[in-house]
Amino acid sequence: MKKRDPAARSRWDIVFSYPGFHVLFFYRVAAALWRNRLYFLARWVSHWGRWCTGIEIHPGARIGRRLFIDHGMGVVIGETAEIEDDVTMYHGVTLGGVAPSINSASQIHQKRHPTLKSGVIIGAGAQILGPITIGANAKVGANAVVTHDVEQDTTVSGIPARPINKPCHKTNKFAAYGIPDQDIPDPILQILEQQQRDINQLQQRLNTLQSKI
């Protein structure tokens, strides 16, 4: 955690002051109870974890090592969500599920929530919905809504989320809130650049027609 948050001055700061660290204790206990089919106790422990930290993690979720939830308030992780190692997420993130159809009770036990591969970064307020996969080292920008798979090493942003860079298999530098500064797109600039390209193409066609005449 200390490597991914420059505000953390010491390990003691994290142990005593970080709700994202505290909630993992509640989750580990609740998950152990859930695996032993003590569902009521598991949900009860999970409820107290939410009350103390503002972070809701269903005890049925599967979480790997070194999950870092920064700030934390408002994070929701659903029952069939899977999170691999070294994932970072910020406040307001939802790993949500798609509701099973009313007439299909068997879907309750099916995969409904996302899978986050190792090294993923999820920006504040992002909503990742359904049984989709976010590839290793991918980044999801703040407030993005993701409903389809994201390739590894790819940055996505927007509503609905779209790639804003090409996959790069080089070593990725950590990017707070999911988007490095150089990757943040300017939508107005993109529109103007596209219009300029269209004008250039029309000018070339006009020049060609004039030369033929």
Q: What is the CATH number of the domain that holds 42?
A: 2.160.10.10
Please report the sign of the dihedral spanned by the C-alpha atoms of residue 69, residue 74, residue 78, residue 79.
positive
Number of folded domains that form the chain? 1
Structure tokens at 79: 């029952």
Q: Is residue 194 part of a domain?
A: no
Q: Is 31 helix (H, G, I), strand (E, B) or coil?
A: helix
Mean pLDDT for 79-96 is 92
Looking at the domain assignment, is residue 147 inside a domain? yes
Domain-embedded: residue 193: no
The pLDDT of residue 95 is above 90: yes
In a domain, 96, yes or no: yes
Backbone φ and ψ of 123, nearest 5°: -70, 165
Residue numbers of the domain that contains 74: 2-185
CB atoms within 10 A of CB 16: 10
Considering the entire predicted model, what is its pTM?
0.71
Task: Give residue 12's pLDDT.
Answer: 72
Paired sense of beta strands 133-134 and 88-89, if any? unpaired
How many Cβ atoms from other residues are within 10 Å of residue 58's Cβ?
21
- Joined tokens for residue 96: 């949500």
Residue 203 resides in a domain: no
Handedness of CA 114, 33, 92, 18 (dihedral sign): negative
Residue 172 confidence (pLDDT) above 60 = no
pLDDT of residue 193: 81
Nearest residue to 144 (alpha-carbon basis) of 158, 128, 131, 154: 158
Looking at residues 91-118, what average pLDDT do you find? 79
Answer yes or no: is 71 within a domain. Answer: yes
The predicted structure's pLDDT at residue 17: 77
**Is residue 108 a contact partner of residue 90, using CB atoms and an 8 Å limit?**
no
Window from 45-54, 67-76, 174-183 with minimum mean pLDDT: 174-183
Any domain includes 63: yes
Residue 49 has pLDDT above 70, yes or no: yes
Average pLDDT over residues 49-58: 92
For residue 163, what are the CA distances in angstroms to 59, 84, 99, 172, 195? 32, 22, 26, 16, 21
What pLDDT, on the 0 to 100 scale, is given for residue 36?
A: 94
For residue 86, being part of any structural domain is answered with: yes
